[in-house]
Amino acid sequence: MQPRLGWPTWIGIVVDDMEGQAAFYESLGFRRTGKGDDWIHYEFEGRTFELLQRSDVPQYDERRYQVGFDVEDIETALAAVTAAGAQQISPIEGDEGDDRWVYFRDPEGNVFEITQRRPRDDR
């Protein structure tokens, strides 16, 4: 069974200067909705736009942008994506009953994420 990858629900930008990038996007009208030590969330047209601090972990090791595709079943999608030739670079993160995600590199090394989101009525 092939998983259905939904249109991206999340775009992340890996950055070196978190506060400088935040000031830039906020000057363009992005509305901040959350902040942690190494991330800042914005709502953008009903979707999540996130700034991520560059670090040594594989999914954030270089400045770049990456997308997260919505899936219904993360385990099924994980098996299909790796069978298609992607390299898994993180474990499944998040908690059972909440949003869960995992990062990959495609055959040319581009990083992307798949996300199983908690149903909207539970949010």
- What is the model's pLDDT at position 45? 79
Helices then strands, each counted (H, E), the chain: 2, 9
- Nearest-5° angle of CA 52, CA 53, CA 58? 85
CA neighbours closer than 13 Å in the CB half-sphere of residue 40: 21
pLDDT of res. 123? 46
| Residue type at 97 in one-letter notation | G
pLDDT tens track, the chain, 123 positions:
677 888 888 899 999 999 999 999 899 888 999 999 999 999 887 888 999 999 999 999 999 988 999 999 999 999 999 998 999 999 999 987 789 999 999 988 889 999 998 875 654
State how far the alpha carbon of 25 is from the alpha carbons of 5, 13, 60, in Å: 28, 11, 19
Q: What is the pLDDT of residue 62?
A: 92
The 3-class SS string of 71-82 reads: CCCHHHHHHHHH
Tell me which residue has tokens 């969330």: 41
Domains in the chain, CATH or no CATH each: 10-122 (3.10.180.10)
d(CA 118, CA 35): 20
